[in-house]
Amino acid sequence: MLVEIPNVKQYEPNRHRRWFQNAFFDLYVWSNDSDELLGFQLCYEKGGDQRALRFSRELGCQHEGVDQPEDKPGRSMSAIFVANGVLDADALCARFTQDAIEIPAPIREYVIEQLGMYEGPNNRDTPAVNDEEMFRLLGSNPEKLAQLAKLFASDHQRLAEALGAAFSSNAFAAARPLLHSIKGMSALIGAKAAAACAKRLEAILSELESSPTSTPPPDDVLRAEFSALQAALLPYRNWFAKWQAAPSSGEHD
């Protein structure tokens, strides 16, 4: 049965984190000050091919595999999330329902509801970027569009890889300027969810800097936010790639 881990460290003043686990599952749940559920991360098959289902209001559900550190020499994080669209939601829901019988009913039902609604990446579209809004935001300027397309094709990938490496080696001082750049880039294109993820990561790092005796945050906190940041920027990367592949689409009246 899933049991709750007591005294879980908190990193955000307005987001409360709870952790439930057994030999098969790790369930992390976030709520606000009014106990309203905001999202969860359900890791499963912990002893084998570990995967995770993450849900938030902003991004919906993402199913991910876990890239283990032994495959990446020099990485100190226990794992990071990587894309993985294969999920037998019905079987997972049945196992979770059985194992979660003793956790609070609102949390159990919240997770079961999302498992029941999961359609998988082949049955749902990637969140689309609104063409009209993007062209308006960028001043219908083809030159600016071309510059940003190049940014997402090269600089964004470089920043994301450097940020992942900084978190993997606990090089938090190196992560701060990278987050600042990503946050500014996100704000420029109107990627509010990505900017919010970057801001939360900055808050975690600021807490570490303000208290030298603080221990590094648990890997699940950094993994969750970093994965959410990448997922939030993915629709914009796809949009710029589409625009770059078909330049005539940038001609907008």
pLDDT given at position 120 = 58
Side-chain-facing half-sphere of 207: CA atoms under 13 Å: 14
SS3 string of 34-69?
CCCEEEEEEEECCCCCCEEEEEECCCEEEEEEEECH
Looking at the structure of the chain, the number of domains it has is: 2
Rg of the chain in Å (alpha carbons): 19
- Reported as a single tens digit per residue, the pLDDT across 101-133 is 899 999 998 998 888 777 654 434 444 566 677
- Reported as a single tens digit per residue, the pLDDT across 194-224 is 888 888 888 888 877 776 555 555 555 676 6
- The answer to the question of residue 222 being in a domain is yes
Distance CA 244, CA 240 (A): 6
pTM over 0.95, yes/no: no
Domain identity same for 96 and 144: no
Is a pLDDT exceeding 90 seen at residue 19? yes
What does the angle CA 244 – CA 249 – CA 251 come to, to the nearest 5 degrees? 110
Is a pLDDT exceeding 70 seen at residue 84? no
pLDDT given at position 17 = 93
pLDDT given at position 249 = 44
- Reported as a single tens digit per residue, the pLDDT across 27-48 is 999 999 899 999 999 999 887 7
Domain identity same for 147 and 100: no
- The answer to the question of residue 228 being in a domain is yes
Distance CA 155, CA 182 (A): 10
Of the candidates 156, 160, 151, 149, the residue with the CA atom closest to the CA atom of residue 240: 149
pLDDT given at position 233 = 76
pLDDT given at position 39 = 92
SS3 string of the chain?
CCEECCCCCCCECCEEEEEEECCCEEEEEEECCCCCEEEEEEEECCCCCCEEEEEECCCEEEEEEEECHHHCCCCCCCCEEEECCCCCHHHHHHHHHHHCCCCCHHHHHHHHHHHHHCCCCCCCCCCCCCHHHHHHHCCCCHHHHHHHHHHHHHHHHHHHHHHHHHHHCCCHHHHHHHHHHHHHHHHHCCCHHHHHHHHHHHHHHHHHHHCCCCCCCCHHHHHHHHHHHHHHHHHHHHHHHHHHHCHHHHCCC
Distance CA 82, CA 23 (A): 22
Domain identity same for 246 and 150: yes
- The answer to the question of residue 21 being in a domain is yes
Domain identity same for 18 and 81: yes
- The answer to the question of residue 214 being in a domain is yes
- The answer to the question of residue 126 being in a domain is no
Domain identity same for 107 and 146: no
Is a pLDDT exceeding 90 seen at residue 18? yes
Of the candidates 189, 173, 193, the residue with the CA atom closest to the CA atom of residue 60: 193
Over residues 163-184, mean pLDDT:
84
Domain identity same for 111 and 185: no
pLDDT given at position 37 = 93
pLDDT given at position 221 = 65
pLDDT given at position 70 = 44
| Number of neighbours of residue 50 by Cβ within 10 angstroms | 17
Which domain-ending residue is among 76, 91, 117? 117
Domain identity same for 78 and 144: no
Distance CA 213, CA 2 (A): 32
Which domain-ending residue is among 88, 117, 146? 117
pLDDT given at position 79 = 47
- The answer to the question of residue 216 being in a domain is yes
Tokens encoding 155 = 């600089």
Domain identity same for 18 and 83: yes
Over residues 77-100, mean pLDDT:
69
Q: What is the mean pLDDT of the chain?
A: 75
Range of the domain at 168: 131-250
- Asked whether 162 and 172 are in contact (CB, 8 A), the reply is no
Domain identity same for 75 and 157: no
- The answer to the question of residue 77 being in a domain is yes
pLDDT given at position 253 = 43
**CA 149 to chain CA mean position, Å:** 22
pLDDT given at position 126 = 41
Which domain-ending residue is among 117, 141, 164? 117
Domain identity same for 143 and 106: no
Over residues 85-114, mean pLDDT:
85
- The answer to the question of residue 182 being in a domain is yes
Over residues 150-162, mean pLDDT:
73
Domain identity same for 86 and 156: no
Domain identity same for 211 and 143: yes
